[in-house]
Structure formats: structure tokens, C-alpha cells
Amino acid sequence: MKSGFKRLNLERVLVIGVRTDILFPLAQQRELAAGFSEVCRDTQFAELDCIRGHDSFLVEMDAFRPVICEFFDACPPLTVVAAE
């Protein structure tokens, strides 16, 4: 994974795992976050306790929203370059 992740030139990464997700179990999400953290110093992992498993991200946005908002709120502002 590391060689593939290096090519992405990431500045920040957020991995969200759901305890009841059997399609992408927490162990895989933790492994993904660990792989990202080898090439991206600002890697965050969040574990959510949602009851709808893999589909939680579709129907339980109230659980995901704070984590995602916090991640993006911590982003430095973008520099917009005007087209000539």
C-alpha cells in the first residue's frame, strides 16, 4: 500500500470506520489508516458506533457529519488563483 499511497501526495487523510460494517470491517479501516499514516503525517481515524453497518454513511449522517465537519474545519483555507 505504501508505494501506492506515496504517489497520491496527500496532505491530510480521514478514515472513518463503522463498528457494525461487515463489508469493510474496522480492522481493515485501521489498516488503511495505518498505511496512510506512513506517507501522510496528518492521518486521522474515527470509529463510529452505528447500527446500519456499511450503509450507515447513507442513512446516519448525524453520526458522520460532526467528524467530517471537524476534519474540514481544520483545513487551511484554499488559495484561489484567478484565471487570466
pLDDT in tens, the chain (84 residues): 777 888 888 889 999 999 999 999 999 999 999 999 999 999 999 999 999 999 999 999 999 999 999 998 877 666 667 666
Structural domain total, the chain:
1
pLDDT of residue 30: 97
CB within 8 Å of 20: residues ≥ 6 apart: 49, 50, 51, 52, 53, 56
In a domain, 57, yes or no: yes
Full DSSP string of the chain: -HHHHHTT--SEEEEEEETT-SSS-HHHHHHHHHHHHHH-SEEEEEEE--TTGGGHHHH-HHHHHHHHHHHHHTSPPPPP----
In a domain, 78, yes or no: no
In a domain, 43, yes or no: yes
In a domain, 80, yes or no: no
In a domain, 62, yes or no: yes
pLDDT of residue 67: 93
In a domain, 59, yes or no: yes
Closest CA to 49 of 76, 8, 17: 17
Structural domain of residue 29, as residue ranges? Answer: 2-73
pLDDT of residue 6: 81
pLDDT of residue 9: 87
In a domain, 23, yes or no: yes
